[in-house]
Amino acid sequence: LALPSTPPLASSLFVTMKVFFDLIGEVEVASDGKLIKKVKDSEGKAIEGLVCCECKTIPDPNDEDEDNAMRKLDHLWFFEDINGDEPAEYKKFKNWQKDFFASYVKGLQTVKKENGDFKEDGAKKAFQKRMNGIMNWVKEEFANITFYSLFKASGEVKIGGETKNFLTTQLFCWYAPGATEPVMCWMEDSVRAEKF
């Protein structure tokens, strides 16, 4: 007797993608359409809270004239809210730390507290430790990073019933030592995920 065939699992009929939205600006900045990996330092140690995916320079996918089409990183074509035309230039690490990171982390911490992310014991200290680790990694790799901001450089968030303005995130395009193609890095604390 032939046994009845088993119907396929419902989950196999659908492909779900996880899309990451900037926590403050509420725009798409990344997805798991490409393999997401932990960023590691020069000694092979993972930088907590920092992930990346590979990227490469490609022509405009909407331009049929491939030879003469504008070329830029595929991540910038796929996520059009990232300002790929004017990457932020910082002469020194201290400029970046002062002009962006210190203010950004302060605002992000306020938003995450409002969202209830620090209710567990040690959660706030763990967040600060991750941010400090990312800052130290940027300092170490500063010469190999291009900083990409969002077109929407700030966003409004309600804090305790009052609307406040905070800086949105940056992404780090990083050429690891010896790499022929860069990776696009983002801070896990700076995004929220949705499945589609």
Both structure tokens of 9:
């699992």
DSSP H helices, 18-143, are 74-78, 93-96, 102-114, 123-141
Instruction: Say if CB 30 and CB 191 are below 8 A apart.
Output: yes
For residue 122, is pLDDT > 60?
yes
For residue 5, is pLDDT > 60?
no
Q: Mind giving me the DSSP string for 91-125? A: SSHHHHIIIIIHHHHHHHHHHHHHTTTT-STTHHH
Residue of higher predicted confidence among 159 and 61: 159
For residue 3, is pLDDT > 70?
no
Residue written as token pair 């939205």: 21
Question: How confident is residue 162, by pLDDT bands cut at 50, 70 and 90?
Answer: very high
Both structure tokens of 53:
């995916």
For the segment 90-98, the average pLDDT, to the nearest whole number, is 95
Question: How confident is residue 101, by pLDDT bands cut at 50, 70 and 90?
Answer: very high
pLDDT value of residue 164: 96
For the segment 63-70, the average pLDDT, to the nearest whole number, is 84
Both structure tokens of 48:
């907590």
Q: How many CB atoms lie within 10 A of CB 169?
A: 24
For the segment 102-112, the average pLDDT, to the nearest whole number, is 97
pLDDT value of residue 8: 52
pLDDT value of residue 127: 98
Q: How does the average pLDDT of the chain come out, rounded?
A: 91
Question: How confident is residue 89, by pLDDT bands cut at 50, 70 and 90?
Answer: confident
Instruction: State the Rg of the chain over Cα.
Output: 19
* H or E element at residue 184: strand 183-187
